[in-house]
Amino acid sequence: MKFMGGFLKVTKRRDGTLTAFSIIVLLFFLFYADQNLDSYTVRILENVAIFITLAVSYNLINGVVGQFSLAPNAFLAIGAYTSAIFTLSPEEKLRSFIIEPMLWPLSVMSFPFAISLLLAGIVTALVAVMMAMPVFRVRGDYLAIVTLGFGEVIQVLANNFLSITNGSLGLKGLYPYTNLWWAWGFCIFTVFCTVRLINSSYGRAMKAVREDEIAAEAMGINALRIKTFAFAFSAFFQGVAGGLLAHLVTTISPSLFTFMFTFNLLIIVVIGGLGSTTGSVIAAVLVTWGNEALRIFEEPSNFFGYQYEGIPGMRMILFSVILILVMLFARNGIMGRSEFSWESLLQWFRRKTPALRV
Amino acid sequence: MSLLLDVRNLSVLFGGVLALNKLSLKIAAGEIIGLIGPNGAGKTTAFNVVTGRIKGSSGSIFFCGRDITGWSPSKIARNGIARTFQSIKLYEDLSVIENVMIAAHSSISYSFLEAILGLGRFSRDESRIRYRAFELLELMNLQELAAERASSLPYGSQRKLEIARALALGPKLLLLDEPVAGMNPTETREFGDFILRLRDNLSIGIGLIDHDMSFVMEVCDRIRVIDHGVPIAWGMPTQVRNDKDVIAAYLGVGFGTATGGHAAN
């Protein structure tokens, strides 16, 4: 036991150093990207960061607590609208709310970007807590349907609360605050918080609920409470990500937050491996970046003298084929339920390079 | 000896079926009480009501002097009643040690913010929980399997793990639902010794259901027999063994009266 403790402490310190080092490398890369890469590539990188944020927090509900929720588009919409409402200046609000003027206190409120993001997260988390009570009365497929309905309800509300959301006209002319630093900074923060949470007793309780709810309750875990907590936790991050997304695309309307958004996230967490944060990160990068990379098949090109015209929509076909292949050959996703650890990576290196073994 | 569990006139109605009819059961600290009866007698139902999984139709349940009737399962568990299940319910995809550590969730003092930031109380609690879990695994002789997946364990070890997990809750009362089912005679005997040691060392109350009569007669201080939901006998193992109604319930009325008649003669 004592020996084990010492060993754990040493590896912990080493892992901490390696993690810090890799974050610094990532930051250097972002600095380089910010200075040298074209705006299209930078935009993809920003999208990747937002999708990692969304996927990791979505995975907490669907993979770790094992509750099949289809609500992220709703959370995203709530976060996006909240932060957009709070960053628009009173003059802009006056100008864009042409059907119906904006509700009074909101129409004169204007906050810095950071505060609007925080508010977006808090409001979304509160909505999640209120929602949890009715929603978690059901499980499995029924839960999926109820949360799907919730997403639709939010969209209808956004279309009809003219004095708050400006209806289907949406909110335009948001200042593009979201840059590489905001997106990746928050992405790293989300992954850090989520991983720490999963590795605590709270995370274990969540996994217990996923594995066997009856046994979890028999061990003193209040399943409803832990589900509500996880729901609010992931809603917070999804809300902030919604705010970031709003200030990246600069125009939001209810039609932006359709079920397709949830569907994309679902694809990401399933491909990555339900329950694996590492898998969610990898899949978010692959899917978001890959979707753009596949565009070359839609452009005219010359294959060894054969003139290819380029077929619009080709990337979606290829994407589907890749999805099918992944599901055929890696049924539990890329990572299954396993997580990345420095120990396993180092061991893999030791195996590959026996000459360097000390 | 202080009284832990006091079940008074508990009845459970499933639709039109009376699954339990006015069951009374008392378990004191340091006592092992057996609950036996033919299949479908309502033994597991009794455990399910006591642990809050099923609501009773009438009657009341007191635990340590408090009325716990109608409490939620998790609240009852946190108050000191731990159980195992007839069909093993482990967290199959998690490691053996994690299975045990989960039961300590109600004992943590840190908030989720402290968990994220890794502040003082977090690491102190975590190492306490891990240390305690290892101790319990050692007690059950499972320490070498700590990192294995729970579902990869052989059947007997899964039963032991379920008990280690139940003990991690720090219970005052332990309810075991068919703990020796599927064990061979040697394992059963070892398990009987283990249960007796457990009672003596921790001075907890133990309630157990089993069909292995020699095991039940061996370890239990008192036995409650139920048949078709109706409590038919209560007493020391020797008393219960010779009870006319019990013999009738297990072997049929004809045989029961025949032996009864024989005994009368």
The tens digit of pLDDT for each residue in A225-242 reads: 999 999 999 999 999 999
Q: What is the CATH number of the domain that holds A84?
A: 1.10.3470
Is the sign of the CA dihedral B75, B78, B81, B83 positive or negative? positive
Look-up: residue for tokens 């508990």? B10
The contacts of residue A270 (CB under 8 Å, 6+ apart) are A327, A333
A1 touches chain B (CB under 8 A): yes
Query: How far apart, in whole angstroms, are the C-alpha atoms of residue A280 and residue A63?
Result: 10
Query: Has residue B218 got a pLDDT over 70?
Result: yes
Write down the pLDDT at residue B5: 93
pLDDT digits (tens, 9 = 90+) for B134-160: 999 999 889 999 999 999 999 888 999
Cα A215 from chain centroid (whole Å): 30
On the 0-12 / 13-18 / 19+ scale of CB atoms within 10 A, B189 is middle
Write down the pLDDT at residue A295: 86
What's chain A's average pLDDT?
A: 90
Chain B residues whose beta carbon lies within 8 Å of the beta carbon of residue A5: 127
Look-up: residue for tokens 């070890």? B157
Residues forming a β-bridge with B231: B226
Q: Sorting pLDDT into bands at 50, 70 and 90, what band is B192?
A: very high
Number of H helices, E strands in chain B: 11, 10
Query: Which among A6, A133, A2, A143 has a CA at the least distance from the CA of A67?
Result: A143
pLDDT digits (tens, 9 = 90+) for A128-141: 999 998 899 888 89
Domain boundary, last residue among B166, B183, B208: B166
Which of A106-110, A247-251, B5-9, B39-43 has the least mean pLDDT?
Answer: A106-110
Mean pLDDT of A279-308: 86
Verify that A248 and A313 share a domain, yes or no.
yes
Write down the pLDDT at residue B172: 93
Verify that A267 and A346 share a domain, yes or no.
yes
Strands (E), chain A: 301-303, 306-308
The number of beta carbons lying within 10 Å of the beta carbon of residue A343 is 11
> For testing the chain B interface, which of A196, A201, A225 should be mutated: the one with the most B CBs within 10 Å?
A201
Verify that B60 and B24 share a domain, yes or no.
yes
Verify that B146 and B204 share a domain, yes or no.
no
pLDDT digits (tens, 9 = 90+) for B77-101: 999 999 999 999 999 999 999 999 9
Write down the pLDDT at residue B264: 38
Verify that B119 and B231 share a domain, yes or no.
no
Does residue B260 belong to any structural domain of this protein? no
Write down the pLDDT at residue B256: 44
Distance from CA of B69 to the nearest CA of A (A): 16
**So what's the ipTM on this one?**
0.88
Tell me how far apart the terminal alpha carbons of chain B are, to the nearest angstrom. 41
Verify that A25 and A91 share a domain, yes or no.
no
Q: Sorting pLDDT into bands at 50, 70 and 90, what band is A287?
A: very high
Q: Sorting pLDDT into bands at 50, 70 and 90, what band is A357?
A: low
Report percent pLDDT > 90 for chain A. 62
Chain B residues whose beta carbon lies within 8 Å of the beta carbon of residue A136: none
Verify that A87 and A215 share a domain, yes or no.
yes
Query: How far apart, in whole angstroms, are the C-alpha atoms of residue A8 and residue A116?
Result: 41
Verify that A13 and A137 share a domain, yes or no.
no
Verify that A8 and A60 share a domain, yes or no.
no
Cα B53 from chain centroid (whole Å): 14
The H-or-E segment that residue A15 falls in is helix A2-36
Specify the pairing of strand B58-63 against strand A301-303. Answer: unpaired
Mean pLDDT of B13-35: 91
Write down the pLDDT at residue A1: 45
Reported residue count of chain B is: 265
Write down the pLDDT at residue A294: 87
Report percent pLDDT > 90 for chain B. 58
Write down the pLDDT at residue A8: 64
Torsion of CA A238, A243, A248, A251, to 10 degrees: 120
Verify that B152 and B184 share a domain, yes or no.
no
- What chain B residue is nearest to A223 in terms of C-alpha separation? B74
- What chain A residue is nearest to B97 in terms of C-alpha separation? A204
Contact A200 B115 (CB under 8 A): yes
Query: Has residue A358 got a pLDDT over 50?
Result: no
Verify that A14 and A73 share a domain, yes or no.
no
Predicted TM-score (pTM) of the model is 0.90
What's chain B's average pLDDT?
A: 89
Chain B residues whose beta carbon lies within 8 Å of the beta carbon of residue A196: 115-118
Query: Has residue B16 got a pLDDT over 90?
Result: no
Domain count, chain A: 2
Within the 326-355 window of chain A, which residues sit less than 8 Å (CB to CB) from chain B?
A: 337
Query: Has residue B48 got a pLDDT over 90?
Result: yes
Domain, as residue range, for B145 = 96-166
Query: Has residue B63 got a pLDDT over 70?
Result: yes
Domain, as residue range, for A25 = 1-36
Verify that B24 and B66 share a domain, yes or no.
yes
Nearest CB to A219 within list B103, B112, B131: B103
Write down the pLDDT at residue A220: 93
Write down the pLDDT at residue B255: 53
Domain count, chain B: 2
Write down the pLDDT at residue A356: 58
Q: Sorting pLDDT into bands at 50, 70 and 90, what band is A93?
A: confident
The contacts of residue A162 (CB under 8 Å, 6+ apart) are A97, A99, A100
Query: How far apart, in whole angstroms, are the C-alpha atoms of residue B134 and residue A26?
Result: 38
> For testing the chain A interface, which of B83, B89, B109 should be mutated: the one with the most A CBs within 10 Å?
B89
The contacts of residue B42 (CB under 8 Å, 6+ apart) are B12, B19, B20, B23, B226, B228, B229
- Given a contact cutoff of 8 angstroms between Cβ atoms, the answer to whether A81 and A171 are in contact is yes
Verify that A72 and A17 share a domain, yes or no.
no
Verify that B59 and B3 share a domain, yes or no.
yes
The number of beta carbons lying within 10 Å of the beta carbon of residue B165 is 30
Does residue B193 belong to any structural domain of this protein? yes
pLDDT digits (tens, 9 = 90+) for A170-199: 998 899 999 999 999 999 999 999 999 999
Report percent pLDDT > 70 for chain A. 96
Does residue B101 belong to any structural domain of this protein? yes
Query: Which among B102, B58, B55 has a CA at the least distance from the CA of B82?
Result: B102
Nearest CB to A220 within list B90, B105, B112: B105
Write down the pLDDT at residue B1: 61
Give the angle A38-A40-A41 at the CA atoms, nearest 5°. Answer: 70
pLDDT digits (tens, 9 = 90+) for A212-222: 999 999 999 99
Cα B115 from chain centroid (whole Å): 33
The contacts of residue A91 (CB under 8 Å, 6+ apart) are none
* Three-class SS state of B232: strand
Does residue B255 belong to any structural domain of this protein? no
Query: How far apart, in whole angstroms, are the C-alpha atoms of residue A85 and residue A69?
Result: 27
Verify that A148 and A119 share a domain, yes or no.
yes
Residue contacts between A and B (CB atoms, under 8 Å)? 108
DSSP A166-221: -GGG-B--------HHHHHHHHHHHHHHHHHHHTSHHHHHHHHHHH-HHHHHHTT-
| Structure tokens given for A308 | 């290819």
Which contacts (CB < 8 Å, 24+ apart) does range A301-309 have? none
Is the sign of the CA dihedral B170, B175, B178, B184 positive or negative? positive
Verify that B121 and B20 share a domain, yes or no.
no
Write down the pLDDT at residue A301: 78
- What chain A residue is nearest to B113 in terms of C-alpha separation? A197
Specify the pairing of strand B66-67 against strand B58-63. Answer: antiparallel
Chain B residues whose beta carbon lies within 8 Å of the beta carbon of residue A217: 53, 72-74, 77
Contact A222 B77 (CB under 8 A): no
